[in-house]
Amino acid sequence: QDRPNAILWLLRNHGELKDSQIARLVGTTKTTISAVRERTHWNSPSLQPLDPVTLGLCSQIDLDMEVARAAKDKPVAVQETGATLLPAEVTAARSKPAEAPEKLPTFAPSAPKPEEEKIDPDSVFAKLKDFKPKE
């Protein structure tokens, strides 16, 4: 049976869907949906989440419509914000200006690089003339 696999996929990937929406999409009962959710389904160990659209149980348009409907019904969750950065006025007013270090160490300039000697192409290839095959 493909329906429990499709139910498992919908529960994992679209948790916002209600049981009635899943039942309408896949064509199953709410008891089967709850059994798959609670892992009490008789075939639970061998269930693998499979997309109901690829299984041919519903169309992509139907799935998108139900997901959009579920997202519209579900209120947007406001995330609890933790500590944030303080405004510049607050931090500038609290802190003392940084003291300048006494004196930075100075470094001697590096030694100039020696110039590369000019390479003559004839001198490079002169040794190869000995290895040239005779015609």
Per-residue 3-state assignment (H helix, E strand, C coil) for the chain: CCHHHHHHHHHHHCCCCCHHHHHHHHCCCHHHHHHHHCCCCCCHHHCCCCCHHHHCCCCHHHHHHHHHHHHHHCCCCCCCCCCCCCCHHHHHHHCCCCCCCCCCCCCCCCCCCCCCCCCCHHHHHCHHHHHCCCC
Average of per-residue pLDDT values in the chain: 82
pTM of the model: 0.55
pLDDT in tens, 54-93: 999 999 999 999 999 988 877 655 566 666 777 777 776 6
What are the domain boundaries of the chain?
Answer: 3-73
Residues of the chain below pLDDT 50? none
